[in-house]
Structure 1
Amino acid sequence: MRTRATVVAVSGALALSALAVPAAQAADTVQGDTKITKVVVNGGKDIVVGTSTKKITITVTGTDPKGIKDGVAILWRGEKFEPGLLKGVLAPVDDAKCTKVDATTGTCKVSLEASPRELANSNAGRWKVMAGLLAKGRAEDRVIKPSYKTVSVKRAAKLTVNASPEPVRKGRTITVSGALTRANWETRKYAGYTQQPVRLQFKKKGASAYTTVKTVKSDRKGNLRTTLKASVDGTFRYVFAGTSTTPSVVSAGDAIDVR
């Protein structure tokens, strides 16, 4: 992440004064009987960021004999959760909203934002989740775990398909073209995702499922192109399985009329 984003994010975390000091340390901090029982990031799905700001919600659930007062969650990359060792930070953009589940249990909802203006393409991949809870009461019992779990932050992808000519006579050659592109966070535009295997699938008219016909590799501009003989009416689509930095994506279907 670029330096400006890191500074702003860390400053935002420090604004949560009750958690600021232990959150800046690399080791787990436990004071009293406060426990984290569950952390859910983005509804349990990968965080996929395109060319506009992505809003992220993290829920931190935990218990304490006195109940839960406040919470925090931060996404980060680096060797340790310490100043100078962070390579990227996404911190809260607002105070956590905590709700009481029962006398000892509470859930805190934390809002974050991932902006392509502040992300470098190299930031795509696994991020660590720092989670913390503050208990009610004067003692301010708390728990903070700098590396509670990990989550994937990926560059959004797009996939297109076009089968031609249409209509086509049976036995003639069909060309199925398309393009695999993904978000470039540094230019805030989509660009070709090169040298990636993409499956070409076909569904015969009246059928309920697609079948893989062949695998096509995207060229140096992300373009896809292959040929095959026309046999029956049906629909073509391209399917990309995804990588550690880019999510899976399926194109819309393109029907072909064989006469």
Structure 2
Amino acid sequence: MRMRATVAAVSGALALSALAVPAAHADADLDVPSAAERFGASSAKPALRAAAEELPVVTKVTINSGKDVVVGTTNVKNFTVSVTARHSTGVQDAYVFLWHGSAPTEEGMDGALVPNEEVADCKASSATTSTCKLTFTAYPGYDLYKNALAGTWKVTVGALAGNESFYWNDRHTTHRVQRSSKLTVNASPEPVKKGKTLTVTGKLSRANWETGKYAGYTGQSVKLQFRKKSSSTYTTVKTIKTNSKGELKTTVKASADGYYRYSFAGTSTTPAVNAAGDFVDVK
């Protein structure tokens, strides 16, 4: 399994309260310890400790400004995650990682995205509340080494209070990691006489993380849309499906000067995309 760094390593102040992770495991150890192990809590009385302590409260987690993480074939994708939490003693650190699979263990995960920093950048808005930021870098073909990783990922979130009590949830939320998409269009002939037939072709493709190239997205519904030259709004003319190569082809009657485009609504693994409008001069 190709992972950029161990998801067992906890950053910054969190790591001070956790069990040490040997440096030799930095690129191979995907075993995720319990929250008690991570934060140094007593494993003998975890229930009593939790009942006796006031735990940090995570009020907001924002991943990539609330947008899906979309990754292509060659360029890395950098994004930021922020965690807002509160505690009567303040918040000194936070930790986040995204994981794919059935459980956050070496046996249960087939993908993980971990933060770049050793320490979260925490800014206090009051004596009790802070927002902590971490940055991530997703490498296509490495972190995202197979196409089956596209879709919904789980998000582990932790927060460490000033008194070293902690919040930890391996399934705090979810977020989508998607394969980047492209869409083209070409309407011909140009120019065309009014009432004559236009042939509109195009192709829907998406990133293949296994080959490092874009490939046709087959069997997908795509809308053909038209915008008059004098208008700023596209209207749907018809809906067709991509063929076995991701290609699109249909015909329409030319009625007025304007722009034709294809529009794809997206799926859980692939983002929505619109082709740039192709102008047709109708004589």
The answer to whether TM tops 0.5 is yes
Alpha-carbon displacement from aligned partner over 1:117-169 (angstroms, at most 9, x marks no partner): 221100001101101111123xx111111111111111010111111111111
Partner of 2:157: 131
The answer to whether 1:101 aligns with 2:125 is yes
Aligned counterpart in structure 1 of residue 242 of structure 2, from 205, 218, 224: 218
Aligned partner of 2:89: which letter? K
Q: Which string of whole-angstrom CA distances, capped at 9 and with x for unpartnered residues, describes residues 167-200 of structure 1? A: 1111221111111010011112111111111000
Output the CA distance in 2 between the equivalents of 1:165 and 1:228. Answer: 12
Answer 1 or 2: higher relative contact order, Cα 8 Å, separation at least 6.
1
Against the structure 1 CA distance between its residues 32 and 81, is the aligned structure 2 distance closer, same or farther, given a 3 Å change threshold?
farther
Contact 2:115 2:134 in 1 (8 A): yes
Question: Could you report, residue by residue, the CA deviation over 1:198-244 in whole angstroms, capped at 9, with x for unpaired residues?
Answer: 00001122123111111121111111111112121111010000011
Partner of 1:50: 72
Aligned residue number for residue 242 of structure 1: 266
Q: In structure 2, what is the equivalent of residue 17 of structure 1? A: 15
Answer whether contact 1:57 1:109 (CA < 8 A) is retained.
yes
Q: Using the alignment, how far apart are the partners of 2:176 and 2:6 within structure 1? A: 19
TM-score with structure 2 setting the length: 0.84
Flag the structure with higher strand content. 1
SS at match of 1:209: coil
- 2:240 and 2:201 mapped to 1: Cα distance? 10
Instruction: Tell me which residue corresponds to 2:177.
Output: 153
Give 3-state SS (helix, strand or coil) of 1:143's partner.
Answer: strand
Q: Tell me how far 1:66 sits from its aligned partner.
A: 1.1
Once the 2 structures are TM-superposed, how far is the Cα of residue 20 of structure 1 from its aligned partner? Answer: 4.5
Query: TM-score, normalised on structure 1?
Result: 0.91
SS in 1 for 2:176: strand
Question: How many residue pairs align between the two structures?
Answer: 253
- What runs of 5+ residues in structure 2 fail to find an aligned partner? 20-31, 37-45
State the shift of 1:92 in Å: 0.9
CA–CA separation in structure 2 for the residues paired with 1:37 and 1:170:
59
Residues 108-123 of structure 1 mapped to structure 2, 5 A cutoff:
108-118=132-142, 119=144, 120-123=146-149
Structure 2 residue identity aligned to 1:142: F
SS at match of 2:245: coil
Partner of 2:206: 182
SS in 1 for 2:2: helix
Are 1:34 and 1:64, in contact at CA under 8 Å, matched by a contact in 2? Answer: yes
Find the counterpart in structure 1 of residue 92 from structure 2. 69
What is the CA–CA distance in structure 2 between the aligned matches of 1:167 and 1:179, rounded to whole Å? 22
Structure 1: which 5+ runs fail to align? none
Assess if the C-alpha contact under 8 Å between 2:11 and 2:95 holds in 1: no
Structure 2 Cα separation of the partners of residues 62 and 88 of structure 1: 27
Structure 1 residue 56: deviation in Å? 1.8
Asked if residue 81 in structure 1 is aligned to residue 104 in structure 2, the reply is yes
Q: Which amino acid aligns with 2:111?
A: G
Residues in 1 aligned to 2:132 and 2:115: alpha-carbon distance in whole angstroms: 12
* Structure 1 partner of 2:113: 90
Aligned-partner residue type, residue 139 of structure 2: S
Displacement of 1:80 in angstroms is: 2.0
**Identical columns (%):** 49
**1:255 is matched with which residue?**
279
TM-fit CA distance, 1:87: 2.0
1: CA distance, partners of 2:9 / 2:250? 51
What do the CA deviations read for 1:15-68 (whole angstroms, capped 9, x no partner)? Answer: 7524645x62289x9653311111111111111111221112110110111111
Deviations along 1:72-127, one digit per CA (max 9) or x if unpaired, are 10001222223322221111111311111110001110111111122110000110
Equivalent pair of 1:71/1:96 in contact (CA under 8 Å): yes
| Paired AA for residue 92 in structure 1 | P
User: Residue 143 of structure 1 aligns with which residue?
Assistant: 167
What code does the residue aligned with 1:258 have?
V
Q: Report if the CA contact (8 A) 1:24-1:83 is conserved.
A: no
Amino acid at match of 1:40: T
Question: Which residue matches 1:229?
Answer: 253
1:5 to 3, 6, 9: 3
